Structure 1
């Protein structure tokens, strides 16, 4: 089977250092196997999106010579596909409407305990949950090996469509990965826990689960993930090489001195040639002193 990987940013802000690490890791993993590298825009949550961020992210990838294959997929254009699958599951009694609020769930220990599972509620004012009858409590990560999922998370009937009508990440990402033929997902370690839910959706859909590789997260000195929500600044488009080299070092590359004078396409080609999973740090998060300043 030909390798197909992808990078799927959300357009809630410019590409920051942590996202660059994820983009590079997925790109090198795909291209080192002569594979296809796709870009998908996870624009499912309009209230969190920044005007123009999607185009800015694509321009940034181009500036770093991370050129994608094929057309960019936008999740905002695929609502009818997600809805059709939800309606099928509702008809098959594999999903149901839930009226429980976050406050109620928090009062019950923070995990949904199936209160609405057999209530046969109607759609108005409700979220939609998938029934989890066979919890996924562990999976194999290509770097970390056998990886456990907390039992309470694994057993929880989770939301696939929110009360406000927005489609959930876990639903959309699995449907899209299947449609695009993705064979392996390379992403940050903050998404280890949802992996069990996504594997469960593959099983529910009668599909063979794919492989997963989770890269270490870039965190600040106080342990906060570099993210748009934490106001991480965008990386430079005008002067990409310093950020590129730092991200490669973060991913475990031992860079030759001569690379400082190389052109960006030469650096990317070198990275593809020398990429291997054993170089990756074993930690799931690493403190970085990256300034996150656009120069």
Structure 2
């Protein structure tokens, strides 16, 4: 058995959460429930389910959230929510639908423009203007636990870092309880960002978004769209392993675990994993770091 990267005392301080996206098929839904049950053994603080711009995945998101709560038994399931392409009334109705499913947690996001990631954003007439406005609307509707996004390398559409942090402060002032960052691979970028956030008087938890590299070319594409940087050392390490998938997975798993362990040594105790709806690699990373697994009761579906 591999010795965890963190010792017993360190492991007792770790907290974790996971992100999923709505599957596109019944088989995918079944697979996701199995994945969620597997990762539930780490006793996450919460899990979250993404939501397409303009409600493009509204029904799949609602169904996924409902199944995670009632079949996988993860009561602390957070629903992502965006304000793109929808009026305030439409967004508020979706909030009510999530609440009817048992949701008390939301991840409030502006969302990408109608043209997809990287396209210009235009507020919907009569809609929430941005994520800060959406947080305010959610806070008026109920005593929800609200998370928001953060960008260690700056949001690609922000004028500069100061404007980016100012927007985060507005979201916090309106009621956000924590921020979850875009994925990144250089911990110096995160530490620099966190120092700037704290200097601006923002005290909420900032959870680093961790993305184990299942596929380097796919992750590079994601990074290009959202303004994240792939360090040369990562490309040089994983690039030559494209034709050796088993070794690539082993090395990528260790790199992600080392990233988490290094962040812990820098004072970070809470982590958010982008799972890509897979449990094997994320679970292996968590095991390497030393996150504790616990038995999960088997739930019978109706």
Q: Quickly name the TM-score band, shorter chain normalised.
A: 0.3 to 0.5
TM (normalized to structure 1)? Answer: 0.33
Higher share in helix:
2
TM (normalized to structure 2)? Answer: 0.32
